[in-house]
C-alpha cells in the first residue's frame, strides 16, 4: 500500500522514522499514568513520514489519533489547558476592531474570555464535554460542535477564525482547513498556532508530539505550501520566544543536538556548554531565543 501525503494526496513522501507501539504505551504509562492501548489499536508500530512537496511531517496509520476520553484524562495536568499563552496575546492584537470571531478547539474558553473582555464578538466550540461545561458555567459563549456542523448554518459568516494548538492533532488537516476557509468571509483571516518542528522540538523525545496526541508536524514552509491547495494567502508568521517553563526542555534538546552533530564530543565539554547556556537563558536571553510555537496568519482570497 502506498502512503500518501494528507495535503497533496500523492505518494511523494519519505519515511523518516518508525516507532514501537509497545514502547510508546509503556512510556505514556510511566510519565503520565495513562493507558493508551485503546488509542493505538493493534498496530505493532507506527511511522513518521515527510511530504516531499510541502515539507509536512505526518504519522501513519491515520486512525491512531487521540479520542475525546484521552484529552479528558490529560486535563488532570494543570499545564495542559493553560490560562494564558503567547499566541493568545498575538491573536488579540490581530483581532482588534474585528467583526465576528470563532475559536475552534477552545477548551475551557480562556481565550474566548480574554477576547470577550476586550469587546470582541466571539464564540468557541470544542468536543471536550467537561471543558465545555466549565466554560459555560463561567458564562462564556462556548458550545459543543464541529466545523462540519457549523458549515451547515454559518458558511462565509466569520471575519476571523482562531485555532490554537489544534491542527497538529488532526489526521486530515486539509479537510479541516478547507472547512475553516468556507466559514470565513472573503478577506477573512485564519489565525493558527502549532508547535514548530524547526524549533528545539526537533531534537526532543516528546511523547506529546507523536500519536495518539499529535498526528502532524508543521513549519513555515509547510504552511506556505498551503497557498497552492487552498484559497489562502500567508500574511505573517511569528515565532514564540523561549518560555521560562521550556528552558529545561530546550537545554535537553540542545544536548541531544550536540551529541548528534559530534558523536565523540567529550561528555564534560557538553555539560559545560549546556550549563553556560542555561545561565544565559535564566538571565533573560531566552526572550531572544526561538521557542516552541509558531503562529501564522492567513487571509482568504
Report pLDDT digits (tens) over 71-84: 889 988 888 878 88
Q: For residue 263, what pLDDT band results from cuts at 50, 70 and 90? A: low
For the segment 36-42, the average pLDDT, to the nearest whole number, is: 92
Q: Mean pLDDT over all residues of the chain? A: 93
Domain ranges in the chain? 13-65, 74-241+292-300, 245-287
- CATH of 74-241+292-300 given 3.40.50.720, 3.40.50.150, 3.30.960.10, 3.40.50.10860: 3.40.50.150
Return contacts of 89-96, CB within 8 angstroms, 24+ apart: 90/238, 90/295, 91/162, 91/164, 91/191, 91/193, 91/295, 92/118, 92/120, 94/160, 94/189, 94/191, 94/297, 95/120, 95/122, 95/160, 95/162, 95/191
For the segment 242-260, the average pLDDT, to the nearest whole number, is: 88
Q: Which residue has the higher pLDDT, 122 or 274?
A: 122
Please report, to the nearest 10 degrees, the dihedral formed by the alpha carbons of residues 76, 162, 240, 170 taken in order: 60
Report pLDDT digits (tens) over 189-243: 999 999 999 999 999 999 999 999 999 999 999 999 999 999 999 999 999 999 9
Q: For residue 264, what pLDDT band results from cuts at 50, 70 and 90? A: low
Report pLDDT digits (tens) over 177-190: 999 999 999 999 99
Q: For residue 262, what pLDDT band results from cuts at 50, 70 and 90? A: low
Omega before 129 within 30 of 0, i.e. cis: no
Amino acid at each position: 500500500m502506498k502512503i500518501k501525503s494528507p495535503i497533496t494526496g500523492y505518494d511523494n513522501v519519505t519515511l523518516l522514522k518508525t516507532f514501537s507501539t509497545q514502547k510508546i504505551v509503556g512510556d505514556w504509562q510511566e510519565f503520565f499514568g495513562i493507558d493508551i492501548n485503546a488509542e493505538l489499536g493493534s498496530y505493532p508500530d507506527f511511522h513518521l513520514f515527510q511530504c516531499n512537496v510541502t515539507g509536512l511531517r505526518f504519522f501513519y496509520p491515520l486512525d491512531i489519533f487521540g479520542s475525546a476520553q484521552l484529552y479528558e484524562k490529560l486535563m488532570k495536568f494543570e499545564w495542559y489547558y493553560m490560562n494564558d499563552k503567547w499566541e493568545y496575546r498575538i491573536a488579540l492584537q490581530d483581532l482588534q476592531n474585528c467583526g465576528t470571531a470563532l475559536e475552534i478547539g477552545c477548551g475551557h474558553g480562556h481565550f474566548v474570555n480574554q477576547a470577550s473582555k476586550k469587546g470582541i464578538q466571539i464564540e468557541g466550540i470544542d468536543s471536550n464535554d467537561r471543558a465545555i461545561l466549565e466554560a459555560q458555567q463561567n458564562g462564556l459563549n462556548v458550545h459543543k460542535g464541529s466545523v462540519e456542523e457549523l458549515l451547515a448554518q454559518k458558511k462565509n459568516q466569520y471575519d476571523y477564525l482562531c485555532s490554537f494548538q489544534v491542527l497538529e492533532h488532526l489526521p486530515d488537516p486539509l479537510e479541516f482547513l478547507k472547512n475553516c476557509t468556507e466559514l470565513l468571509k472573503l478577506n477573512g483571516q485564519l489565525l493558527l498556532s502549532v508547535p514548530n518542528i524547526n524549533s528545539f522540538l526537533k531534537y526532543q523525545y516528546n511523547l506529546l508530539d507523536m500519536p495518539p496526541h499529535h498526528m502532524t508536524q508543521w513549519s513555515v514552509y509547510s504552511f506556505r505550501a498551503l497557498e497552492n491547495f487552498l484559497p489562502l494567502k500567508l500574511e505573517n508568521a511569528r515565532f514564540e520566544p523561549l518560555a521560562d517553563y521550556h528552558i529545561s526542555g530546550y537545554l535537553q534538546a540542545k544536548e541531544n543536538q550536540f551529541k548528534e552533530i559530534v558523536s565523540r564530543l567529550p561528555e564534560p565539554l557538553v555539560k559545560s556548554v549546556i550549563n553556560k547556556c542555561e545561565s544565559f537563558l535564566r538571565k533573560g536571553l531566552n526572550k531572544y531565543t526561538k521557542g516552541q510555537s509558531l503562529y501564522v496568519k492567513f487571509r482568504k482570497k
